[in-house]
Amino acid sequence: MILVTGGAGFIGSYLHAGLAARGQHAAVADWLGSDGKWRNLARHPPAHVVRPDALDTWFATNPALDAIVHLGAISETTATDADLAWETNVELSWRLWSWCAEHGVRFIYASSASTYGDGAQGFDDDPALLPTLRPLNLYGWTKHAFDLRVTDAVARGQPAPPGWTGLKFFNVYGPNEYHKGRMISVVKVKWDEVSAGTPARLFASDQPGLADGAQRRDFIWVGDVADVIMWLLDHPTVSGLFNLGTGTARTYLDLAHAVCDAAGQPRRVEFVPMPAALHGQYQSFTEARMDRLRAAGYAGQFTPLEHGVRRYVQDHLQGPERYV
């Protein structure tokens, strides 16, 4: 059995659907709450749903696990409760790491491209470069702190899971994200605007010499993320910290045009001032270096932006089945 923390969330529920499709028993640790997040699991109910605060009891009374995929986190880039973010993103993650080390269980966890800060140090996932990174926000800092703790423990020869992988997710988009509020993907936000008959609105550039709409991010289809995680589950000897993007940055204007095209609407875009709260915290460029994951053996192809956006819009947002 595999435990997926955050398994009722966006990436976690998509991964759970993939595991269910290949007959893999999986349990989910998450808060289902009352905002309809259960719908992410409606078509593939898990073997167990465990409240995160009941994990210790569950570990003591349930069968041995083959792996933990730890995706649960305080993921809001505008989060301000540092105590909660540290307890959730660092201390809970470390307790799971330690449990896996003690019980000989594979451990895969979510890091983030936000650990790279403004990108001035590049987007190279070589662990030797970790000390040079300067995240811009609390979320990125806590993810970076856990990456540092893990790599330091491994370097010192301290107890570790028999196989472990950290994945620095870049900008993930796709179905099952509808509960995420302000953290929902730009693709979904632009579709909401375009489908309502208004132009797609993009932040004007706040960088000298960078044209409006020319900000570039590495956008990755959620299905590609799930494929990489399942590949890692099938290759338990692969360990390390890896980027997970497509390796190709695309402009926000490209994304807005892709949404308009997929929705069958004219390409109408307008630029609005960037909110003051984002000044100094906004990444105008991200692009994953994927050399190390490729060298580890992953040969899967990543979905081009236009194809992924079309699939999201036409198969889910406009289609009969919003959820996977």
Residues recognised as catalytic: 139, 180
Q: How far apart, in whole angstroms, are the C-alpha atoms of residue 113 and residue 116?
A: 6
Query: What's the Rg (C-alpha) of the chain?
Result: 19
Residue 215 tokens read as: 């900000």
Q: How far apart, in whole angstroms, are the C-alpha atoms of residue 55 and residue 91?
A: 14
Q: How far apart, in whole angstroms, are the C-alpha atoms of residue 226 and residue 9?
A: 13
Residue 27 tokens read as: 């349990």
Q: How far apart, in whole angstroms, are the C-alpha atoms of residue 150 and residue 158?
A: 10
Q: Taking Cα atoms as reference points, which of 216, 218, 285, 200 lies closest to residue 251? A: 216
* Cβ pair 225, 165 in contact under 8 A: no
Q: Quote the distance between the C-alpha of residue 261 and its chain's center.
A: 25
Q: Taking Cα atoms as reference points, which of 34, 40, 32, 37 lies closest to residue 226? A: 40
DSSP single-letter state for residue 73: -
Count, residues in the chain: 324
The DSSP element (H or E) to which 86 belongs, if any, is helix 82-86
Sign of CA pseudo-dihedral 312, 318, 323, 324: negative
